C-alpha cells in the first residue's frame, strides 16, 4: 500500500467518523449540515463519488450534485451601465449619403432620425440638443 493510499484511507475514515458522530446524536433522520456536505463534496472531488458515497453511506446522486457545487465559483453580477459617450466616425469627412439614428433616454424618451445627406458635425449637434446638453 502506498503512502497516498494510506492517507486517502485515513482521510476518509476520519470523515466517516464525523458523519457517524453526527448521525448518532440525531434522534430522527434529518438533513445533514451543510459543512458536512461540503467536506463530502471535496472528498468526492479527490477520491471519486462512488468511493465516498459508499464509505459515508450517502446517496450517490446527491453527492454528485454536491460535488458539482464545489467546482462553481461564486459569480457576482455587475450592473451594466449604458454608455455616456458614443463616438461617431464617418468614412469620409463631409456629408453622409444616408443615416439612421435611434436614441433612447433613461426616462423613456425616444428619438429616431432617418437623415439624408447630413454632415457628421450637424448630427452631433442634433444629438446634443436631444440629450439636453
pTM of the model: 0.47
Please give the Cα distance from 55 to 53 (Å, whole number).
6
pLDDT at 5: 63
Q: Residue 55 above 60 pLDDT?
A: yes
Q: Quick one: residue 110, left, alpha or beta (phi over 0 = left, psi -120 to 50 = alpha)?
A: beta
The answer to whether the beta carbons of residues 43 and 15 sit under 8 Å apart is yes
- How much is the mean pLDDT over the chain? 77
Kindly provide the b/e burial profile for residues 40-52, where b requires at least 16 CB atoms within 10 angstroms of the residue's own CB. bbbbbeebebeeb
Domain boundaries, the chain: 3-71, 77-133
Q: Residue 70 above 80 pLDDT?
A: no
Residue range 9-52, pLDDT digits in tens = 788 899 999 989 888 888 787 788 888 888 888 888 888 888 88
pLDDT at 133: 58
CA 49 and chain centroid, separation? 25
Q: Which grid cell is 112?
A: 429616431
Higher pLDDT, 121 or 56: 56
Q: Which residues contact 39 (CB under 8 A, 6 or more apart)?
A: 15, 18
Question: Closest Cα to residue 22, out of 44, 11, 7, 37?
Answer: 37
Amino acid at each position: 500500500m502506498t503512502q497516498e493510499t494510506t492517507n486517502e484511507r485515513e482521510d476518509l475514515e476520519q470523515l466517516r467518523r464525523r458523519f457517524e458522530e453526527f448521525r448518532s446524536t440525531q434522534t430522527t433522520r434529518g438533513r445533514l449540515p451543510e459543512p458536512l456536505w461540503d467536506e463530502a463534496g471535496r472528498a468526492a472531488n479527490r477520491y471519486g463519488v462512488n468511493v465516498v458515497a459508499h464509505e459515508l453511506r450517502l446517496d450517490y446522486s446527491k453527492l454528485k450534485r454536491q460535488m458539482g457545487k464545489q467546482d462553481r465559483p461564486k459569480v457576482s453580477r455587475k450592473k451594466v451601465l449604458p454608455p455616456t459617450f458614443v463616438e461617431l466616425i464617418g468614412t469620409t469627412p463631409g456629408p453622409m449619403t444616408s443615416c439612421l439614428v435611434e436614441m433612447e433616454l433613461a426616462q423613456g424618451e425616444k428619438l429616431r432620425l432617418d437623415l439624408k445627406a447630413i454632415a457628421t458635425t450637424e448630427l452631433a449637434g442634433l444629438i446634443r440638443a436631444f440629450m439636453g446638453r
